[in-house]
Amino acid sequence: MQIKVIENRKKYYALSCVVIGLGVLFMVINMFRGQGAFSKDIQFTGGSLIQVDVKQNFSNDIKDDIQKIATEVTGHTNISITSAGDTGVIITMPQTDTDVRTKLFETIKEKYNLEDTDLAKDVDVSASISKEIKSGAIKAVIVGAILILIYITFRFKDYRFGTSAVVALLHDVMIMLAAYAIFRVPLNNSFIAAMLTIVGYSINDTIVVFDRIRENKVKKGLKDHDGAPIELVDDSVNQTVGRSISTSVTTLIMVVLLFILGTESVKEFAFPLIIGVLAGTYSSIFIASPLWYDLTHFGAKKSTRAKKVNKKKA
């Protein structure tokens, strides 16, 4: 079956715009509700953290019990309960006084017959750390996008390849942000690590398609200023789509297993990877190549208009 990428490119653009627009809508709704555009983990907002060894395997029942206790003792409703190993429990909450945290541990200690030594960690996390994390993530994406633009432009000797690849990468990041806004998954270090991982994964997939376009372009004897024919892009995508999908499916199998079987911290890393792999595969096939096609035709039209103007002047 031949995929008609160029013929249906506006539909693919529209689908991406709908998903991103839905994410923006949820951000606005969340802000009006006073919950913030995104749900943020303690690493982004600052707060307090307690880690307790409850001497029992972590389960949903234990999670619900500790959630209820923590809410009653602290008065906070936005408390996160996650596992740490087999029997460890991490409780993250907004900034809380030491006395209240002590009372919280004493309540948990009484319920599960614990010792004082079972309190593994009791710390405050400074909000200044979150600023450094966010600043570093933004800088990493910007610098990475610029370097990728320079590298691909130099490698393919065509700025339109670089521009299309960078726009596709930004598309993947925005899809991931939309998923986080819609599903209210807390932003944390795992998100940043996954986002940067997906940027590298997606660009590799895109370069494979671009390489095939370049090879077919040389075979057809096309020049850089010519608008790319539809069959050039469609043939190139169809020749590489099997490889792209096979690679993505193989990756997804392992990441989905991590999400299903892993601990809470592993799931927090696996979720954005799943979204990113899907978005990256989609953009490599249905966004990057059509964008390059449109840019070549835009450039060809400008070149034709310039020639007509020069002829009139002559």
| Per-run averaged pLDDT (10 residues), the chain, 314 residues | 88 95 93 81 80 89 91 86 84 88 92 90 73 74 86 88 91 91 81 80 88 87 68 91 90 91 79 90 93 81 47 48
Measured between alpha carbons, how far apart are the two ends of the chain, in Å? Answer: 50
> Looking at 94, 125, 156, which one is the last position of a domain?
125
Range of the domain at 79: 47-125
Task: Report pTM.
Answer: 0.79
| 64: in domain | yes
- Please report, for the domain that includes residue 271, its CATH number: 1.20.1640.10
The predicted pLDDT at position 23 comes to 94
Does 105 fall in a domain?
yes
**Residue 310 domain-assigned?**
no
Q: Are residues 198 and 247 in the same domain?
A: yes
Q: Is residue 271 domain-shared with residue 187, that is, in the same domain? A: yes
User: 238: part of which helix (H) or strand (E)?
Assistant: helix 230-261
pLDDT of residue 203: 87
Q: What is the pLDDT of residue 306?
A: 42
Q: What pLDDT does residue 123 have?
A: 87
| Confidence (pLDDT) at 253 | 94
What CATH number does residue 102 fall under?
3.30.70.3400
Distance CA 252, CA 258 (A): 10
Residue 99 pLDDT: 92
Taken as a whole, the chain contains a residue count of 314
Structure tokens at 310: 């020069």
| DSSP character string of 42-89 | HHHH-EEEEEEE-SS---HHHHHHHHHHHHHHH--S--EEEEETTTEE
CB 201 within 8 A of CB 275: no
Number of domains in the chain: 2
Going by their DSSP bridges, the two strands 88-93 and 47-53 should be labelled as: antiparallel
Considering the domain architecture, whether residues 163 and 115 belong to the same structural domain is answered as: no
Residues 141 and 275 in one domain: yes
Q: Does 55 lie in the same domain as 173? A: no
Cα(88)–Cα(200) distance, rounded to whole angstroms?
34
Q: Is 92 helix (H, G, I), strand (E, B) or coil?
A: strand
Task: Give the 3-state secondary structure of residue 123.
Answer: strand
**Angstrom distance (rounded) from CA 213 to CA 238:** 11
Does 35 map to a domain? Answer: no
Q: 118-122 contacts: CB < 8 A, separation 24 or more? A: 118/52, 118/53, 118/54, 118/55, 119/50, 119/51, 119/52, 120/51, 120/52, 120/53, 120/84, 120/88, 121/49, 121/50, 121/51, 121/90, 122/49, 122/50, 122/51
DSSP-derived letter for residue 3 is -
Same domain, yes or no: 187 and 246: yes
Q: Look at residues 110, 125, 140 and tell me which one is the last residue of a structural domain.
A: 125
Cβ pair 152, 165 in contact under 8 A: yes
| Same-domain check for residues 276 and 237 | yes
Same domain, 86 and 150: no
Q: Is 207 part of a structural domain of the chain?
A: yes
